[in-house]
Amino acid sequence: MSGMNFSRREGAVFEAIVELFLRTGQPVASREVAGRKGQHLSPASIRGVMARLEELGLLTRPHPSAGCTPTDQGLRVHIDQNVRNAKPSAAVRRRVEARFEYVKPVAVDDLGWVAGLAADLTHEAGVAVRPVGEDPVLESLALVPLGAGRVLGVIVSVGHWVEKRIAFLKDQGLTTDLSALANRITRRFSGERLDVIRDCLAEDGPESLGLSVEEHQFIQELFRDPGDGEVRVAGTENLIENEAFSEVGRIRSVVKVLEDRPRLAGEWRRALRTATTRVFIGSESQLTASGNLGMVATLFYREGQTVGAVGIVGPRRMPYRQVVPVVQCIGETLSAYLAAGVG
């Protein structure tokens, strides 16, 4: 297991302890393990195995006479060995596919809907983030007047990913033809990454781009760096209702994590640079450590390009064996729908 020299007997006892703990949240005694179906060891033999697992840092005890609970390292071994490569069941795939089919006439690139889907299917708090990966490449720009100087900019990236931003143009309707302005920007910058466009707007004056000072400032605001991008959270009530968060202090901790969306997005981006799916456990991340949490995040793609991530935030003691395949299935299905041009 994860490079550790486990015997088959030790592995079976370890998995029994992890599964009992994840289900009950209570320290697991040797007699409980001995009573499980398929276990043929005596409580005394199991206590010997538990002592060995403690020495390896996989189990701990609240006090000497108590049962054992898995450490963060122990949960990591459990996930890497038994969960990471688990495939979604046919039933899970049908549930996810059915939800996507239901919204087929509607845009599936709605991050709020994606976060809500993750929350509904896992009963944890769902999170969706974009962009993740390189800056998207501009395909076209559309400008829609909203009144009182407010203009909606619809930025369409290669792959038909749509981002909507609002900026102010004081002389809207007086000297600026929004349609002509949008066409001019599209002709000038189509095929360029958004970060390149931002640099160009910062370095070149309005005259060189054929813009008025007001229009130049407006376009700069429209293409401003979104920082941590768009983050949507759904299903926080799932955590509040979870028995693992029955204490007021722990509820405050998890709410604080979910409210700090820039930090949450940044943590996911860093973690997903080297993996398609990541699981965070307790002390492995500052975010999960602060509220004794667990997080699962997976990337989704459009035309082979990474565009975002979807996942969940829940208690450290969550059913990873069920949750991780669901999150992975959502990411895979979303990628398939975006590749097919649905939305």
Which CATH number is 74's domain given?
1.10.10.10
pLDDT band at 164 (very low <50, low <70, confident <90, very high): confident
Of 196, 222, 248, the last residue of a domain is 222
Q: Which residues contact 168 (CB under 8 A, 6 or more apart)?
A: 149, 150, 151, 218, 221
pLDDT band at 158 (very low <50, low <70, confident <90, very high): confident
Contact between 75 and 316 under an 8 Å Cβ cutoff? The reply is yes
- Residue 85 in any domain: the answer is no
Of 199, 222, 245, the last residue of a domain is 222
Do 32 and 179 lie in a common domain?
no
**Among the ranges given (65-69, 126-130, 167-171, 293-297), the one the predictor scored with the smallest mean pLDDT:** 167-171
Do 127 and 233 lie in a common domain?
yes
Asked whether residue 2 carries a pLDDT value surpassing 60, the answer given is no
Compute the average pLDDT of residues 76-81. Answer: 92
> Which residue in 61, 1, 22 sits closest to 321, CA to CA?
22
pLDDT band at 104 (very low <50, low <70, confident <90, very high): low
Asked whether residue 93 carries a pLDDT value surpassing 60, the answer given is yes
pLDDT band at 182 (very low <50, low <70, confident <90, very high): very high
Which is higher by pLDDT, 208 or 38? 208
pTM over 0.75: no
Do 200 and 163 lie in a common domain?
yes
Query: Which range marks the domain in which residue 185 is found?
Result: 138-222
- Residue 251 in any domain: the answer is yes
Which is higher by pLDDT, 125 or 149? 125
Do 233 and 180 lie in a common domain?
no
Do 166 and 233 lie in a common domain?
no
Do 235 and 312 lie in a common domain?
yes
What's the chain's average pLDDT?
Answer: 86
pLDDT in tens, 184-241: 999 999 999 888 998 899 999 899 888 989 899 999 999 887 666 788 999 988 887 7
pLDDT in tens, 278-290: 999 988 888 888 7
- Residue 271 in any domain: the answer is yes
Do 326 and 239 lie in a common domain?
yes
- Residue 1 in any domain: the answer is no
Do 178 and 254 lie in a common domain?
no
pLDDT band at 127 (very low <50, low <70, confident <90, very high): very high
Do 121 and 198 lie in a common domain?
no
Do 244 and 289 lie in a common domain?
yes
pLDDT given for residue 102 in this prediction: 81
Which is higher by pLDDT, 16 or 274? 16
- Residue 202 in any domain: the answer is yes
- Residue 84 in any domain: the answer is no
Specify the number of domains making up the chain. 3
- Residue 17 in any domain: the answer is yes
Q: What is the percent of the chain with per-residue pLDDT over 70, rounded to a whole number?
A: 90
Do 193 and 250 lie in a common domain?
no
Q: In the 3-class helix/strand/coil scheme, how is the chain assigned residue by residue?
A: CCCCCCCHHHHHHHHHHHHHHHHHCCCECHHHHHCCCCCCCCHHHHHHHHHHHHHCCCEECCCCCCCEEECHHHHHHHHHHHCCCCCCCHHHHHHHHHHHHHCCCCCCCCHHHHHHHHHHHHCCEEEEEECCCCCCEEEEEEEEEEECCEEEEEEEECCCEEEEEEEECCCECCCECHHHHHHHHHHHHCCCEHHHHHHHHHHCCCHHHCCCHHHHHHHHHHCCCCCCCEEEEECHHHHHCCHHHCCHHHHHHHHHHHHCHHHHHHHHHHHCCCCCEEEEEHHHCHHHHHHCEEEEEEEEEECCEEEEEEEEEEECCCCHHHHHHHHHHHHHHHHHHHHCCCC
pLDDT band at 248 (very low <50, low <70, confident <90, very high): low
Do 280 and 245 lie in a common domain?
yes
pLDDT given for residue 140 in this prediction: 94
Of 191, 222, 253, the last residue of a domain is 222
- Residue 2 in any domain: the answer is no
